Chains A and B, each alone.
Chain A
Amino acid sequence: MINIIRNYLHKSQCQTGIALTEEGRPRTVVRTTFSREGADILRAEMEYLRWYARQVADETFLNDMQVHVRDCYGKCQFPYHEGETGDYYRPLHLNAGKIAAVVRHYGKIFADDEAPVHGDFSLGNIIFKGDDVSWIIDWENANRCMPRCYDLIYLITENCLFCRLTGTRIADEDTAAYRRLYREISDKYEIPAQVADGPGQWCSDVVRRYMEKTGIDHSKCPFIAVEGKIIREVDEILKRNGLP
Chain B
Amino acid sequence: MNTQTSLTDMIADSLELRDGIWYGEKGLYWSNLSREDNQSYIRELPQLGAKATLRKYFPQHEEVIFSPKRMGGVATLDLRPEDRILDAGCMWGALTVPLAYTGAQVVGIDQTEESLKFLAQRKAEEGLENLTLINADLKKIALRAGSFDKIVLNGVLEWIPEVENVEVNQFTTRRPGLWESLRRLRQRPPGHQSPREEQVRFLKKIAGALKDDGVLYLAIENRYDIYYFLGQKEPHCGIRFFSFLPHGLQNLVSLLLRGREFRNWTYSEGGLRSLLRDAGFTNVDVLYGFPGYHFPELVLQKEGMRFFRSAAMAQSPSRIKKAVKKIVSHTVFGIFKARALAPAFIVHARKI
Contacts and interface: CB of A to CB of B under 8 A. Distances in A.
Interface residues of A, number: 26
Nearest to A16: B75
B297 to A, nearest CB: 6
With a 10 A CB-CB cut-off, give which of A13, A15, A17, A20 has the most chain B CB atoms: A15
B75 to A, nearest CB: 5
Contacts of B299: 3-4, 7
Contacts of B67: 8
Contact of B102 (A17, A30, A70): A70
B208 interface: no
Interface stretch (A32-40, A157-165, A181-189, A235-243): A32-40
A8 B298 contact: no
B285 A1 contact: yes
B91 to A, nearest CB: 17
A153 to B, nearest CB: 28
Interface string A139-161: 00000000000000000000000
Contact of A7 (B102, B285, B296, B307): B296
Contact of A17 (B75, B81, B295): B75
B295 to A, nearest CB: 8
Q: How large is the interface on B (under 10, 10 to 19, 20 to 34, 35 or more residues)?
A: 20 to 34
B221 to A, nearest CB: 18
Contact of B76 (A2, A70, A73): A2
A182 B325 CA distance: 42
Contacts of A2: 75-76
B69 interface: yes
B76 A17 contact: yes
A75 B298 CA distance: 18
Interface string A71-104: 1110100000000000000000000000000000
A87 B44 CA distance: 53
Interface in A1-55: 1-9, 13, 15, 17-18, 20, 24, 30, 32-35, 38
B79 interface: yes
Contact of B307 (A18, A30, A32, A35): A18
Interface string B81-120: 1000000000000000010011100000000000000000
Given A4-B298, A9-B297, A34 B71 contact: yes
B307 to A, nearest CB: 5
Contact of B298 (A5, A38, A71): A5
A98 B101 CA distance: 43
Given A1-B285, A4-B72, 18 more contacts: A1-B348, A3-B300, A4-B298, A4-B300, A7-B299, A8-B67, A8-B68, A8-B72, A15-B71, A18-B304, A20-B301, A20-B303, A24-B304, A32-B75, A34-B101, A70-B81, A72-B126, A75-B79
Interface of A: 1-9, 13, 15, 17-18, 20, 24, 30, 32-35, 38, 70-73, 75
Interface of B: 67-69, 71-73, 75-76, 79, 81, 98, 101-103, 126, 285, 287, 295-301, 303-304, 307, 348
Nearest 5 interchain pairs by C-beta: A3-B304, A24-B303, A34-B98, A7-B72, A4-B299
